[in-house]
Amino acid sequence: MTPDWVKDAVFYQIFPDRFRIGQGPAGQPAPVQGAFEAWDAPPTLRGFKGGNLWGVIEKLDYIKEQGFNALYFCPIFASTANHRYHTSDYFQVDPILGGNLALQRLVEEAHRRDIRVVLDGVFNHCGRAHFAFQHIMENEAASPYLNWFHIYKFPLNAYTKHANYAAWWNNPELPKFNTANPECREYLLSVAEYWLQYGIDGWRLDVPNEIDDDDFWREFRRRVKARNPEAYIVGEIWDDASRWLQGDQFDAVMNYPLGRAILGFVGADVLDKDLAAKSGLGRIESLGAMACHHRLEELFRRYDWEIVTAQMNIMTSHDTPRIFSILRGQVERVQLAFAMLFTLPGAPTVYYGDEIGMAGGHDPDNRRGMIWDESRWHKSIQQTIQQMSALRRSLPALRRGRYQYLYAQDGHLAFARTLEHSSVVVTINTSPEPWRIDFPLHGLWPRGERTVDRLSGKTGRCVGGYLEDGVLEPFSLAVWQPLE
């Protein structure tokens, strides 16, 4: 079983260094006060902007108001990199982020608002500043930590282009753990357990496919679920994840394939395919309605339904260009893409700043400082996300209902979400022309009923098994429900 709360979750992904600089309580000053990049300056590969967890705490009410009830954080542990995937101490929240006290306070304040907290676990590799790797650098073959890594030769070339030890993508900054070593294995599993004591609600696992050991992940699941049966375990797998989703390893994965289908359908001929292709998204294919439906249905059939409803559905993240840039700044298409995301099975996930239409290309440009000047916000995007979050909360069928195909032609797609005896019909128009809706409901609402679009308030009717609800405007979406 997957955690029940995830089916009701709307995730907000935060890159801590770039979200907000908070003050923290008296007596808890930041370890450094200056030398940060200017917040609004273009981010650089190595530069820090000084965002911290106190800043997130200060904006929890903002997060709640947008409709988000779960947070996924990029790594927060001590590190020498602004993104903190170069972990140096897994038992210490980075002092620049506010230290362990800030995380403790964050979890308390988030839970008080019914917001869950999921942390990023980087267990495949660490930073070269990690104590065990440093011990080997100093003592070479005499180090008791020698077998925690895959060392090929001494002295270690830790500061050259060519590492003589196993490293992630051969980057000498990121030595790869030897998870087959029992002591190293136990160390990493103890990290997963330790932070559950702080009340976190789960782990997002960074590149877990690179720990090519199903028994490691089975033990990880046993240990995590023993501490918190409702903890969420979600892996960063970009494509078919069947191997890890048999019920004994992960609960779900980051559902980038679903995000690519939405972008391909909504973006159509305006997609910046070259921009997307240089990231993990790959070259996104423009899709008509039927092709999009086939992609979605294949994804929904690939895994057990319990897993489908717990997937972290994601279009863009810290590893991709921002959606506003991929869709070339066409606000109405961005709104439509988000609206569609919220109507599909799984937990919608929004990257910080995407809710206000921030632009961003490749790393590090996609990791700009959050814009807090409301005059620079695309408020229509924000309003769409707020509205769709509220609608999802009010309609259990959008959270747990089965997907049922109804109609697909050109830029027009319709499907139902059905839960027990209730159902809603979603109609999507990705074309620049109005769509006069008239298609069969295939057994839904057979009595013939008046209907209402829960987004616009427009009413329509079901006649002879057909939904006949007037005109759907270009680049818009409707969610139809029978009138009581």
Does residue 253 contact residue 244 with C-beta atoms inside 8 Å? Answer: yes
Residue showing tokens 């696992």: 205
* Average pLDDT of the residues in 157-176: 95
- Domains (ranges, CATH) in the chain? 4-124+179-394 (3.20.20.80), 127-175 (3.90.400.10), 399-482 (2.60.40.1180)
pLDDT-derived band at 62, boundaries 50, 70, 90: very high
Question: Catalytic residue among 206, 319, 354, 469, which?
Answer: 206
Amino acid at 336: L
Q: With residue 13 as reference, give the H or E element that holds it.
A: strand 11-14
pLDDT at residue number 280:
93
pLDDT-derived band at 465, boundaries 50, 70, 90: confident
* 214 is known as an active-site residue: no
Q: 259-314 pLDDT, tens per residue?
A: 999 999 999 999 999 999 999 999 999 999 999 999 999 999 999 999 999 999 99
DSSP class of 151: B
* 206 is known as an active-site residue: yes
pLDDT at residue number 27:
61
pLDDT-derived band at 30, boundaries 50, 70, 90: low
Position 363 pLDDT exceeds 80: yes
Position 28 pLDDT exceeds 70: no
Pairing of strands 87-93, 116-121: unpaired
How many angstroms separate the CA atoms of 18 and 56, rounded?
10
Does residue 89 contact residue 130 with C-beta atoms inside 8 Å? Answer: yes
Average pLDDT, the chain: 96
pTM: 0.97
Does residue 252 contact residue 219 with C-beta atoms inside 8 Å? Answer: no
Q: 411-441 pLDDT, tens per residue?
A: 999 999 999 989 999 999 999 999 999 999 9
Position 461 pLDDT exceeds 90: no
Question: Catalytic residue among 17, 236, 354, 355, which?
Answer: 236
Position 358 pLDDT exceeds 60: yes
Share of the chain above pLDDT 90, in %: 92
Residue showing tokens 């029992």: 182
How many angstroms separate the CA atoms of 74 and 231, rounded?
17
